[in-house]
Amino acid sequence: MLRKLLILLLFLGSFFVNAQEAIWRTDINDAVAVSAEKRKPLLIFFTGQGANPKLQNEIFSTREFEEWSKKNVILVKLDLSDASIENDAKEQNLRLKNAFGIEEIPQVCFTSVSVRKGKTNFNKLGLISYLSSGVKAWISESNLILNPE
């Protein structure tokens, strides 16, 4: 009986751990559609091969970030060095990088999106990089970008 209970607890525990994982979209068009539907801004994470992993490891992998992101933004990860994506998508990602003024990676851009008459318009809200002061400071700075009043 105890063994069955432990197996059940392990199963349920893994289910809840997986349920907490943040959903990162890699297709900007998909993200735009979800953003319009849920009326949430995009958090676009520009990264690539050789990028400093601290932002992902110390900020994005925390429970605080996952909870905050689910309430506030649609997550998009654009890996500029991903060889598995098609050339059109690579070009589109590079155009977005340049349009948002991303000069170094990794970097996050917050943007609101509107779609009118089939045309997508981005409104850049602000940029943020890794902050060594931790996830709470990063979220606080992000909230200032998202809610400047």
More confident residue, 108 or 85: 108
| Residue 71 host element (H or E) | helix 63-72
Q: Residue ranges of the domains in the chain? A: 22-146
Residue 38 is encoded by which pair of tokens? Answer: 């849920």
Percent of the chain topping pLDDT 70: 87
Which tens digits make up the pLDDT trace of 23-51?
999 999 999 999 999 999 999 999 999 99
Specify the DSSP class assigned to residue 84: T
CATH number of 22-146: 3.40.30.10
How far is the C-alpha of 97 from the C-alpha of 69, rounded, in Å?
A: 21
Question: How many angstroms separate the Cα of 10 from the Cα of each of 20, 21, 22, 66, 135?
Answer: 16, 17, 21, 22, 28
Of 130, 90, 106, 97, the closest CA to residue 50 belongs to 106
How far is the C-alpha of 56 from the C-alpha of 2, rounded, in Å?
A: 38
This prediction has a pTM of 0.84
